[in-house]
Amino acid sequence: MKPEIAEAFAEALKEKDRFVGGAAYIDGRFMPLAEAAIPIGDWAYRRSDVTYDVASVWKGNFFRLDDHIDRFRRSMTTWRFTPQESDGDIRDIALAVVALSQLRDAYVGMDCLRGKAKLGLPSHPANARNYIAVFARPFGWLIAPEVQLRGAHLIIAATPRIPDSSVDPRVKNFHWGDLTQALFEAHDRGADGAILLDHQGFVTEGPGYNVFAVLDGTVVVSDHGALEGITRRTVIELCQELGIPVAVRLFSGDELREADEVFLSTTAGGIMPAARLDDRILGNDRPGPVASRLREIFWLRREAGWHGLPVNYQLPVPAGVVRG
Ligand X SMILES: Cc1ncc(COP(=O)(O)O)c(C=O)c1O
Residue 152 phi, psi (nearest 5): -70, 150
SS (H, E, C) 184-248: HHHHHCCCCEEECECCCCEECEECCEEEEEEECCEEEECCCCCCCCHHHHHHHHHHHHHCCCEEE
Between 127 and 181, CB nearer to ligand X: 181
Site string for ligand X, 27-56 (x = CB under 6 A): ---------------------------x--
* Helical H segments across the chain, by residue range: 3-13, 43-46, 65-78, 87-101, 145-150, 177-188, 230-242, 253-257, 289-303
Pick out residues in 92-111 that bind ligand X (CB under 6 A). none
Question: Which of 12, 13, 21 lies closest to 104, judged by CA?
Answer: 21
Question: Which of 199, 197, 222, 223 lies closest to 212, judged by CA?
Answer: 222
Q: Is 231 in the site for ligand X (CB under 6 A)?
A: yes
Shortest distance in whole angstroms from residue 59 CB to ligand X: 18
Shortest distance in whole angstroms from residue 37 CB to ligand X: 22
Q: How far is 251 from 58, CA to CA, in rounded Å?
A: 33
Question: Which of these segments, 227-235, 277-285, 290-298, 306-314, binds ligand X (CB under 6 A)?
Answer: 227-235
Pick out residues in 51-70 that bind ligand X (CB under 6 A). 54
Size of the site for ligand X (CB under 6 A): 14
Shortest distance in whole angstroms from residue 229 CB to ligand X: 3
Between 16 and 224, CB nearer to ligand X: 224
Neighbours of 244 (CB within 10 A): 17
Q: How far is 96 from 9, CA to CA, in rounded Å?
A: 8
Shortest distance in whole angstroms from residue 284 CB to ligand X: 28
Q: How far is 289 from 314, CA to CA, in rounded Å?
A: 41
Shortest distance in whole angstroms from residue 218 CB to ligand X: 21
Among 101, 222, 265, 292, binds ligand X (CB under 6 A): 265
Q: How far is 313 from 23, CA to CA, in rounded Å?
A: 13
Cβ-proximal residue to ligand X, closest one: 229
Question: Which of 194, 200, 193, 195 lies closest to 165, judged by CA?
Answer: 200
Between 100 and 152, CB nearer to ligand X: 152
Shortest distance in whole angstroms from residue 208 CB to ligand X: 4
Which amino acid is it at 17?
D
Among 115, 193, 208, 288, binds ligand X (CB under 6 A): 208
Among 101, 102, 222, 267, binds ligand X (CB under 6 A): 267
Among 51, 130, 148, 266, binds ligand X (CB under 6 A): 266
Pick out residues in 148-207 that bind ligand X (CB under 6 A). 205
Beta carbons of 133 and 113 less than 8 angstroms apart: yes
Shortest distance in whole angstroms from residue 57 CB to ligand X: 14
Among 61, 210, 222, 292, binds ligand X (CB under 6 A): 210
Question: Which of these segments, 128-136, 186-194, 212-220, 226-234, binds ligand X (CB under 6 A)?
Answer: 226-234
Q: Which residues of this chain interact with ligand X, rule CB under 6 A? A: 54, 205, 208-210, 226-227, 229-232, 265-267
